[in-house]
Chains A and B, each alone.
Chain A
């Protein structure tokens, strides 16, 4: 699925959800109007009975007071807030206080008022029903369109999903929904706690003392509870690679690295006031601009790392699958290191894939990496001058169509060095 169509599909889905919600609210409103009309259906009979009771009361029949009260209560409970209700209420009050002639005058037009109120209820029901119907039709059309686009998205990714699914470990069906629900509770607690603490800090002095005393500790408790719940539930509710590919629909970004790198990529850095998210999650988030990020998981790991969606290849037969995935991916992001398997992947990407697909992340403090990479390239990368930076990733290398490396140092200005030009001015921007 193309990025434009994917964005359109997401927009249609969001609009369909909102429209369906509004249609449901309007349907409830129409239902309320229907009940109000049905409840008022007996109004002419009740109005006649009320007038008769009033007549009997005027003739001295004291037992008719019960009928007057009953009529008043019925109109109070079932009539819309229109004229008939106030007329009955006023007439009942007048009768109770002995102003019988005034009560008679008031109910003279009661039958006509009841008809008017019934007509108003019919109009309300007609308009609310019609509005609900149109919104329901719009929601139906949008839901069908969203489902069709979803089907198209999923069928577009069928080949790679089929490949990756073979290497996604089976889990009990309830596991992910349970941990998703736990994560939902964690997110709710985390957000509520964060906003409570923020409000206590910024606006606390404006609040009543009791609220001030409760807000900060309760907020901190909710924040801490959310943090702990999320730390436990998020890795257990993480999407597998096949699910991530189905949900996105674009061709993936294949993230390759040495398994030994996972620990440094899983580090959570200071930055946001309260941060839960690892370097790899940030990297996967950035690469989400290109496509869903998938990675081979370390065999035997008890829980998948967060960030790139994982699948697990057998130790003895992983190379053909990686080659096939390289072909099916739109970008191959490869963090350089010292593992032999990793360098086999670099060689294969260099030999079999177009240059534009490969992005190399070079770690700092590993000079052997630059030397080894240069042996594979037609033009030296000058990477050895950039390897003194961040030990996780100190430089990003991409290639032009002739495999000339272009090195971008991490944390430097966005000036790009070309391999051939870099030799003329090797030290200024690195």
Chain B
């Protein structure tokens, strides 16, 4: 879903302008929008990574009889 902030519009205009001189960067506008969600994705990835790491540590502790 596109969120039409000023910066998104600037990114779209920049993408079109660069395309007119032969520089094709298709992901520019998408990237500008993705920045708005980046905190959520970082948080989600962090929670997932910590969960996976915790599972590994728990199993390792069990192996050494500490868990």
Give chain A's interface residues, CB within 8 Å of chain B. Answer: 21, 24-25, 28, 31-32, 35, 184, 187-192, 194-195, 226, 230, 269-272, 275-277, 279-290, 355-356, 359, 361, 390, 392-393, 395-400, 406-412, 414, 416
Residue-wise interface mask of B (17-32) relative to A, using a CB-CB cutoff of 8 A (1 in contact, 0 not): 1111111011111011
A288-B39 contact in complex given A282-B11, A283-B7, C-beta closer than 8 Å: no
Q: With a CB–CB cut-off of 8 A, which chain A residues contact B3?
A: 271-272
Q: Is the CB of B56 within 8 A of A25?
A: yes
- A356, B62: Cα distance in complex, Å: 60
Complex interface residues of chain B between 45 and 66 (CB less than 8 A to chain A): 46-47, 50, 52, 56, 59-60, 62-63
CB distance from A289 to the nearest CB of B (A): 4
Q: Is the CB of B36 within 8 A of A28?
A: no
Q: With a CB–CB cut-off of 8 A, which chain B residues contact A32?
A: 59, 62-63
**A-B pairs with beta carbons under 8 Å apart, 5 shown:** A230-B39, A272-B37, A356-B22, A359-B17, A390-B6
Q: Is the CB of A272 within 8 A of B56?
A: no
A356: which of B23, B28, B46, B59 is its contact (CB, 8 Å)? B23
Q: Is the CB of B21 within 8 A of A399?
A: yes
Give chain B's interface residues, CB within 8 Å of chain A. Answer: 3-23, 25-29, 31-44, 46-47, 50, 52, 56, 59-60, 62-63
- A390, B12: Cα distance in complex, Å: 14
A282-B40 contact in complex given A269-B5, A398-B17, C-beta closer than 8 Å: no
Chain B at the A interface: SS class: helix
A416: which of B7, B20, B62 is its contact (CB, 8 Å)? B20
A393-B6 contact in complex given A28-B63, A398-B21, A410-B13, C-beta closer than 8 Å: yes
Q: With a CB–CB cut-off of 8 A, which chain B residues contact A21?
A: 52, 56
A194-B52 contact in complex given A287-B28, A393-B6, C-beta closer than 8 Å: no
Q: Is the CB of A416 within 8 A of B17?
A: yes
Q: Is the CB of A416 within 8 A of B36?
A: no
Q: Is the CB of B59 within 8 A of A192?
A: no
CB distance from B23 to the nearest CB of A (A): 7
Q: Is the CB of B42 within 8 A of A289?
A: no
Q: Is the CB of B14 within 8 A of A396?
A: yes
A277-B39 contact in complex given A283-B7, A359-B14, C-beta closer than 8 Å: yes
Q: With a CB–CB cut-off of 8 A, which chain A residues contact B10?
A: 283, 286, 361, 392-393, 396, 410
Q: Which residue of B lies closest to A406 (CB)?
A: B20
CB distance from B55 to the nearest CB of A (A): 8
- A195, B32: Cα distance in complex, Å: 22
- A288, B38: Cα distance in complex, Å: 14
Q: With a CB–CB cut-off of 8 A, which chain B residues contact A406?
A: 17, 20-21
- A92, B15: Cα distance in complex, Å: 79
Q: Is the CB of A25 within 8 A of B59?
A: yes
Q: Is the CB of A286 within 8 A of B7?
A: yes
Q: With a CB–CB cut-off of 8 A, which chain B residues contact A400?
A: 21
- A35, B59: Cα distance in complex, Å: 13
B43: which of A28, A191, A286, A288 is its contact (CB, 8 Å)? A191
